[in-house]
Amino acid sequence: MRIDVLTLFPALIDAFAETSIVGRACAAELVSIVPTDIRDFTYDNHRSVDDKPFGGGPGMVMSCGPVFEAFEHVVRQGGDAADSKLDPGSELIMLTPQGEKFDQTLAKELSQRQRLILLCGHYEGFDERIREGLSPREISIGDYVLTGGELAAMVLMDAVIRMLPGVLGNELSADDESFASGMLEYPQYTRPREFRGLSVPEVLLSGDHSKILEWRRAQSLKRTELRRPDLLNG
Ligand code: ADE
């Protein structure tokens, strides 16, 4: 998978692409993360990417020109059709609090794409013609407003990349965890068996795999009922 990130802060994305599990996935060429600086597509001395809103009001609005040009540049670079139309396996995503809510199901869906192009905004938002002209899919990572789309893009990439085949050491571990089954994950324990008077549940030491499975399912259900009953309603 190739992920292009259109951003004003490419250094943030570079650091993300070099670190931890995502860093190893990039090194193993399971994914390539390519930041593109939107500011490289400006032509004035100040390299401005934003301007005052027509009609007045506070803040600044991200301008069309640099965003359209940065998008057209990465489309050509990534081998999609020369007319700036994306291939069917590619998707342009705008990170914005106005978008559809990101969740594990959406992460799974996006992990099937060959290519994602993520557009990160700043300031008070985007000139509406960016939406009209580029028709991005709009995604929000939650009901709060960040200073920019980069953190949201990193959240999305992290959740997607860890689902790609070969990224997690144990192929099963992505299926076993919270949300994959529609429930929260069961409690986990590791050595020592006793820690400051707290012990590991006997069943986990029993070696009886069907009992362990049964206990884990019951724990998942109990925890989900208690903490996230909304997940069980579906
Ligand atoms: N940009 C600013 N806030 C955001 C959010 N909650 N989700 C996605 N992108 C954003």
Within a domain: residue 169? no
Mutation test of ligand 1: which of 93, 96, 98, 122 has the most ligand atoms closer than 8 Å to its C-beta? 96
Instruction: Tell me, yes or no, whether 156 and 190 share the same domain.
Output: no
Within a domain: residue 56? yes
Instruction: Tell me, yes or no, whether 138 and 214 share the same domain.
Output: no
Q: Range of 87's domain?
A: 2-161
Residue in the structure block whose two tokens are 């506070």: 58
Helix ranges (DSSP H) in the chain: 10-17, 20-27, 64-77, 104-110, 128-134, 150-161, 173-176, 209-227, 229-232
156 has pLDDT over 90: yes
> How confident is the model at residue 78, as a pLDDT?
77
Which token pair is 32? Answer: 């390539």
Ligand 1 centroid to residue 190 C-alpha, Å: 37
Within a domain: residue 151? yes
31 has pLDDT over 70: yes
Domain count, the chain: 2
173 has pLDDT over 80: no
Q: Please, what is the average pLDDT of the chain?
A: 94
Instruction: Tell me, yes or no, whether 93 and 204 share the same domain.
Output: no
Whole-angstrom distance, CA of residue 165 vs CA of residue 171? 7
Within a domain: residue 171? no
> How confident is the model at residue 171, as a pLDDT?
58
Within a domain: residue 36? yes
State the pLDDT confidence band at 113, using cuts at 50, 70 and 90: very high
Helix ranges (DSSP H) in 78-170: 104-110, 128-134, 150-161
pTM above 0.85, yes or no: yes
Instruction: Tell me, yes or no, whether 114 and 200 share the same domain.
Output: no
Whole-angstrom distance, CA of residue 203 vs CA of residue 199? 11
Instruction: Tell me, yes or no, whether 121 and 219 share the same domain.
Output: no
Within a domain: residue 167? no
Residues having CB within 6 Å of any atom of ligand 1: 95-97, 140-142, 144-146, 149, 152
State the pLDDT confidence band at 87, using cuts at 50, 70 and 90: confident
Instruction: Tell me, yes or no, whether 143 and 183 share the same domain.
Output: no
- Omega before residue 192 within 30° of 0, cis: yes
Which token pair is 224? Answer: 């989900």
Instruction: Tell me, yes or no, whether 99 and 192 share the same domain.
Output: no
Judge whether 33 and 158 are in contact, CB under 8 Å: no
Worst-scoring range by mean pLDDT, 34-48, 54-68, 83-97, 136-150? Answer: 83-97
Residue type at position 161: I
Any idea what the CATH number is for the domain that residue 195 is in?
1.10.1270.20
Radius of gyration for the chain, computed over Cα atoms and rounded to the nearest angstrom = 22
Rounded to a whole number, what is the distance in angstroms from the first to the last CA of the chain?
31
β-pairing, 2-7 with 32-37? Answer: parallel
Instruction: Tell me, yes or no, whether 132 and 197 share the same domain.
Output: no
Instruction: Tell me, yes or no, whether 52 and 80 share the same domain.
Output: yes
Within a domain: residue 190? yes
3-class state of residue 188 by DSSP:
coil
What is the rounded average pLDDT of the residues 74-102? 87
Ligand 1 centroid to residue 83 C-alpha, Å: 29
State the pLDDT confidence band at 233, using cuts at 50, 70 and 90: confident
Instruction: Tell me, yes or no, whether 32 and 128 share the same domain.
Output: yes
